[in-house]
Structure 1
C-alpha cells in the first residue's frame, strides 16, 4: 500500500468501494466520485494499477473497453479501505450459538451423487427429473426451500426443481461428477474417484469457493458482504450488524436499499442459505445475528466408523468420503445429521453385487474403516449373502437365430464365426458374445449371409467411450457449466493487450499553453474561460481563487450568463457554480506524473 502513489491510492479506493468486482469504465468511475476524482486521475490511476496487476482491462467484441479489479483481490483491499470490519468481532461468551445440526454441503453433495450413481436418475423429455426421483432425493436433503428464500438466483427448470436440489445438481455438474446423458444423468467415475480421494477438509474448501463463485451476484453491496464474510478468521464470531455498519461507514453503495434493508439483505442472501448448507454457523448477540466460519477439518482428523452387531454402521463426520461412498453402494441410509447411520441389509448388499461390486473388496473396505472391527455374525452374514447371490441368474442376451439346420451347422463349424459365440441353444439358436456382436455381423455379411437385425442394441454399460484414452478431453466434456445462471460475465471478454490509457488525454494536454500549468496567475475573463474549457476537454481540475478563497474546481460545463459566463462543476465533492466576476487567479492542474 505504501508503494502506491496518491493518484493510484485514491483511484483504487473508489474502485474497491464503489464497484467491488463489477466492471466499470473511467467515465463511470469519474461520475461515481462526484468530482473527488477527475477523469484524468481515473485514467492515470487505472493505467498505473493495471501495470501493478491490481486492475484488468478487457475489450468487448464491439470495441468498448471495461476494467475490473483483478480476481481475488477484493477482500484484501476491502480490509484497507473499510478498516471498521475488524471491530465487528464478538467475544464467544457474548454469543448464543444456534445448535441446529446440519449435514453440510459436501456430505449433501455426496448423497446426491451417490443416489444418481446407485439408484439412477432418469430425465424427462424436457430434461428435468421425474417427480418420484425428486421426492427420493429430497428425502435425503435436510435443507428446506424456505432456508434458501433469500438466495435470489435463477436456474434451469426452476418450476420443477426446488432450490436445494438445484444447488446440489449445479455443483455436481460444475465439478464434473455428473453429466447429462441420453435420457438420464450419468456418473463420471474417474472424476468421482478423484474427488473422493481428497481429504474432507479440501473438499469442503473447494465447495466453499464454488459457492462464492456461483452465487456472488452483480450487486456491489452483496459482493462486499461476501468479501467481508470470506475474510473472517475461522472459529471467531462476528456481528452481522457491525459488519454491515462498517461497510456503510466506508461508503459502499447499498444498491437502492435503506440501511436497515442493506443489513437484512446480508442475513437473507448470505448468512441464512450458507448456514443451511453448513458453510457458516449462526448465533445471536446483543445487536442481532452473529456468524462464524467453521474450522476446517484437518487431513489427520479423517476417521472411520463403528459397525454394530445389529448391522447398523455409525458414521462420524470425520469419516473419509471415499469410505462413505462404499457404504452408499452396499448399505441403506437410515438417517442422521452430524453423525449418520447406515444399515447393512441383504437387499442393499445384493444391490451392490448386482452393479458389479466385488464382495471381497466391499467387505475389505468395510473392515478397513471399522474402528473396532466388523462383528463376526455380521461378517458371516455378508459372506453368506455373497455366496448365495447369483446361484440363479436372469440375463438379457443377444441371440443369433438360424432359419435352417444347414446354416446353423456351418456357423458352428466356422472358426471365425464361432469365436463370437458363447453357447448353442437347441439346433438353430446361439448366444452371442455382446462385445463381439458387431464383429459377428460384419463377418456374416462378408461370407454372404443376408442379416436381419431384430432391433437396435443399446451399447453395454461398461463399454469405453471414444474419449476414454484421452482423459483431458473426457474431463473437458464432463464438466458443463451447471444449471444456475451466472450474473457476472466480464471475464468472458478477452484482456486488452494494448489499452489506450491516458495517451489521448496526454495528446490534448500537450496542445494546451504550458503557462496555464506552471503557476496560479490572473487572466482575462475570456482566457480563464478557455482554460476552464481546456480542463473539461482534458478531464482535469483547475485551481481557482474565488471571492478571495483558493479552491480546486472540477469544471463540467461553461455556459453564457449575460455578457459573461458561468462555470458549473464540483468543489470538494459538492455541486458548485463559479461566475466570471468571482474568478481571480487560475491554474490548470493535472495529477502526478511520477
Structure 2
C-alpha cells in the first residue's frame, strides 16, 4: 500500500460527501442538515462514549477491529482477509460492517491517486469510542522538585528557520545538511540528539535532530525542498509567526502526534491512554507502565508489559527532548509529567514584558510573540536560555540588520515593543554607531558608491582602463553597466571589502507578515491531501464486489449439486472471500470461509476458516447441500 503521511480529519471527510448523503446521515441521528456538521459530530461523540447504538454485530466487531488493531492507518482491500481473523469475522461480513459504518459517517471509503481504495476511520471517531471502552484513572501524583525548563521544540524550530532565512540551507545529494554547516548550527541551536535514539529519525550520521526539524518544517508547510537546497515558504512562515501560542502549540503537537503514530499505527490506544494522564503532578515511571498495560490499552493484541515499557520509553524520550514532557531520572524509579509550561503558554498573553540591559543584552519572557522575536533576530544574536530567552546586540548583528534594510529607528521600535519602555541611552548610541555603513554598497540601479576616498580613486583608475564598465557620476559614485557591476563585485571580493546591497524600496517579507499571511490563506491546500472520498454504498450487496455475478440459485437456499458445480461454488466463494454454508450426509449444518480448493488424488479438498477463525479442511465428497447466503443477513 502507498505510504500515507497525511491523515484526513473527520470533518474534512464529511465535507467531501454530497449534501444528500449528509442529510440522510443527519436524519438517522434525528438532526436537520441545516444545523451543520458540528452537531452531527458532537452527537456521535456522545453516542460513542455512552455506547448508545443500534449497531449490528458486524458493525460492533468492525469498530473494535479499527480501534484496537488497525489504529492510525488505512485498511486496504488486500488486508481485509488477514485482518478479519483478529475479530473472528469473515472478510465478507467485515466488508458489510465497514459499509454500514460508512453509511453512518464513521468510516470512509477513500481512493488514492494510484487508484487503490482503502477504508479510513478518523482518529476523532476512534478516540470517542475508546473513551467509552476505557475509563483510565489518573495515576496518583507525587511531590518532587524538577527543573523548570521553558524551552521546547517550538523554540528550536523557530531558531532553525531564522538561520535558514539568514544563511540559506544547501543539502548534499543524499538530502542531508553538509557536515561543516551541521556542526556550526548544532552549536548555535544547542542541539543534542540523545533523546532521539531509537526513533525513525536516527541514522548513522547522527543527523537525527536536523532530520526531525526538517520534517516538522515540511509537514507544517514552512520549508520547501528545491533540488539540493531547502528554502523557507514565506507565506506559510508568516502565517505560523502570527498564530497565537495556543494555536501554534496545538498545530505542532498534532504534527508530532502524527509522526509518532506513523511508526506505531496499531498502538494508537496506548497513545490515547498516555494523553489521558495529562496532569502536572509527577508520576512514577514503573506505575505508569503497569497501569497502561493493566488498563487494557492493548486490547485484542498480544503484547507484553516489557513491550509496553519499550514503546512508552521511546515516546517519552522523544517528547522530553521536544519539551512536552519533563522527567526526573532517579535511580530506582524515574518520575515524569506533562510539562505545565505548555499549558501556561497556551493561555496566551501573561502581561510579561522583556528587558533591554545597558550592555545590549535583551531578555524575553516565555510567550513573547514570535513575530516580534523574528524581527529582533535580524539584528541581535541568540544566546540561549531555559527560562528567559537571551539575545545580545552586537556590532556584527546590528550591521547585519542594517544590511537587510532595517533603519536604526525600526530597530529601536522593535525593542520598545518588546519591553514597553524607553531604551537605555547606551543602547541607542550603540545602534546608531554600529548601523553606520562601512566599505561599499551596490544600488539596484547599478549605482556604485564608496565611503572612502582611497577606494573610490582606485576604482576610478580601473574604469579609466575599462571604460565599458561604466563612468564616474560623483566624487565617490559610479554608474555601472551590467558587466561593470559583476566586475565591481569581483574587485571588492579580492580586496576583502564588505559589500552592502542598496535599498530597493521594498521591505523584506518579514516586515509584511500580514500581507504574506493573506497570500498563504489564499493558497491553502486541500485538507484531504491526496485522498478522495467516495460516497458510501447504501445497498449492502454493493459492498461485496462480484456478488451480483453469482447465480441466484446459489444464494437463495441450500441445494445439492454435481461435484463440478460444487467445486465452482467453493472456488467462487474463495475468490470473493464469501462464507459458504453446507451440510454433510448426516444433515449437520456447518460454515466455512474457503481459501483453497485443491485436488489430492481423486478427492477435491476444501481448506478455509470456520466461524471462530479455526482452520478447517474437508473433502467435497462429504458435502450434501451447499449455499452462499447474503453476508448482510444473520
| Residue in structure 1 matching 2:262, options 190, 214, 217 | 217
Secondary structure, counterpart of 2:424 in structure 1: helix
* Paired position in structure 1 for 2:189: 141
* Paired position in structure 1 for 2:33: none
Q: Distance in 2 between matches of 1:513 and 1:323?
A: 71
| Residue in structure 1 matching 2:362, options 307, 313, 316 | 313
| Residue in structure 1 matching 2:319, options 274, 283, 289 | 274
Could you say if the C-alpha distance between residues 181 and 14 of structure 1 is closer, same or farther in structure 2, counting changes exceeding 3 Å? closer
Residues 330 and 349 of structure 1 are in contact (CA less than 8 Å); yes or no, is this contact kept in structure 2? yes
CA apart distance, 1:146: 1.5
* Paired position in structure 2 for 1:17: 68
CA apart distance, 1:106: 0.9
* Paired position in structure 2 for 1:388: 433
Secondary structure, counterpart of 1:299 in structure 2: coil
Could you say if the C-alpha distance between residues 293 and 529 of structure 1 is closer, same or farther in structure 2, counting changes exceeding 3 Å? farther
State whether structure 2 residue 198 is matched by structure 1 residue 198. Answer: no
State whether structure 2 residue 94 is matched by structure 1 residue 52. Answer: no
* Paired position in structure 1 for 2:201: 153
* Paired position in structure 1 for 2:25: none
| Residue in structure 2 matching 1:106, options 150, 154, 166 | 154
Could you say if the C-alpha distance between residues 471 and 299 of structure 1 is closer, same or farther in structure 2, counting changes exceeding 3 Å? closer
Could you say if the C-alpha distance between residues 587 and 527 of structure 1 is closer, same or farther in structure 2, counting changes exceeding 3 Å? farther
Deviations 1:248-269 (A, max 9, x none): 6412366xxx65234302321x
User: 1:144-293 residue pairs with structure 2 within 5 A?
Assistant: 144-153=192-201, 162-179=207-224, 187-230=232-275, 233=278, 235=280, 239-246=288-295, 249-252=298-301, 259-268=305-314, 270-282=315-327, 291-292=337-338
Residues 547 and 582 of structure 1 are in contact (CA less than 8 Å); yes or no, is this contact kept in structure 2? no
Q: Distance in 2 between matches of 1:63 and 1:170?
A: 27
Q: Distance in 1 between matches of 2:339 and 2:430?
A: 45
CA apart distance, 1:21: 2.8
Could you say if the C-alpha distance between residues 6 and 288 of structure 1 is closer, same or farther in structure 2, counting changes exceeding 3 Å? farther
Q: Distance in 1 between matches of 2:471 and 2:254?
A: 52
Instruction: Structure 2: give runs of 5+ residues left out of the alignment.
Output: 1-47, 449-459, 491-500
Could you say if the C-alpha distance between residues 351 and 455 of structure 1 is closer, same or farther in structure 2, counting changes exceeding 3 Å? closer
| Residue in structure 2 matching 1:516, options 549, 558, 563 | 558
> How many residues in Structure 1 have an aligned counterpart in Structure 2?
534
Residues 171 and 230 of structure 2 are in contact (CA less than 8 Å); yes or no, is this contact kept in structure 1? no
* Paired position in structure 1 for 2:58: 7
Residues 96 and 284 of structure 1 are in contact (CA less than 8 Å); yes or no, is this contact kept in structure 2? no
Larger Rg: 1
Deviations 1:228-259 (A, max 9, x none): 445654547772443245456412366xxx65
* Paired position in structure 2 for 1:432: 479
User: 1:477-492 residue pairs with structure 2 within 5 A?
Assistant: 492=530
* Paired position in structure 2 for 1:37: 89
Could you say if the C-alpha distance between residues 453 and 43 of structure 1 is closer, same or farther in structure 2, counting changes exceeding 3 Å? same
Q: Distance in 2 between matches of 1:392 and 1:555?
A: 84
Deviations 1:127-174 (A, max 9, x none): 6545443233212434422210021237xxx66662112222333344
Q: Distance in 2 between matches of 1:207 and 1:99?
A: 23
Residues 148 and 387 of structure 2 are in contact (CA less than 8 Å); yes or no, is this contact kept in structure 1? no
CA apart distance, 1:278: 0.7
User: 1:456-475 residue pairs with structure 2 within 5 A?
Assistant: none
CA apart distance, 1:121: 3.8
CA apart distance, 1:31: 2.6
Q: Distance in 2 between matches of 1:222 and 1:546?
A: 47
Q: Distance in 2 between matches of 1:87 and 1:312?
A: 48
Residues 164 and 231 of structure 2 are in contact (CA less than 8 Å); yes or no, is this contact kept in structure 1? yes
> CA RMSD of the aligned region, Å?
5.1
Residues 567 and 597 of structure 2 are in contact (CA less than 8 Å); yes or no, is this contact kept in structure 1? no
Residues 559 and 565 of structure 1 are in contact (CA less than 8 Å); yes or no, is this contact kept in structure 2? yes
Secondary structure, counterpart of 2:243 in structure 1: coil
Q: Distance in 1 between matches of 2:617 and 2:550?
A: 25
| Residue in structure 2 matching 1:542, options 581, 591, 613 | 581
Answer 1 or 2: which has greater helix percent. Answer: 2
| Residue in structure 1 matching 2:390, options 338, 341, 347 | 341
Secondary structure, counterpart of 2:440 in structure 1: coil
Could you say if the C-alpha distance between residues 303 and 144 of structure 1 is closer, same or farther in structure 2, counting changes exceeding 3 Å? same
* Paired position in structure 1 for 2:14: none
Secondary structure, counterpart of 2:406 in structure 1: coil
Q: Distance in 2 between matches of 1:567 and 1:184?
A: 59
* Paired position in structure 2 for 1:417: none
Q: Distance in 2 between matches of 1:150 and 1:44?
A: 40
Residues 542 and 555 of structure 1 are in contact (CA less than 8 Å); yes or no, is this contact kept in structure 2? no
**TM-score, length-normalised on structure 1?**
0.71
Could you say if the C-alpha distance between residues 231 and 578 of structure 1 is closer, same or farther in structure 2, counting changes exceeding 3 Å? farther
Residues 585 and 622 of structure 2 are in contact (CA less than 8 Å); yes or no, is this contact kept in structure 1? yes
Residues 605 and 617 of structure 2 are in contact (CA less than 8 Å); yes or no, is this contact kept in structure 1? yes
| Residue in structure 2 matching 1:323, options 366, 372, 376 | 372
CA apart distance, 1:298: 1.1
Could you say if the C-alpha distance between residues 581 and 217 of structure 1 is closer, same or farther in structure 2, counting changes exceeding 3 Å? same
Could you say if the C-alpha distance between residues 23 and 229 of structure 1 is closer, same or farther in structure 2, counting changes exceeding 3 Å? same
Could you say if the C-alpha distance between residues 555 and 207 of structure 1 is closer, same or farther in structure 2, counting changes exceeding 3 Å? same
Q: Distance in 2 between matches of 1:44 and 1:590?
A: 10
Deviations 1:263-306 (A, max 9, x none): 302321x2111111112334689987655365532124363223
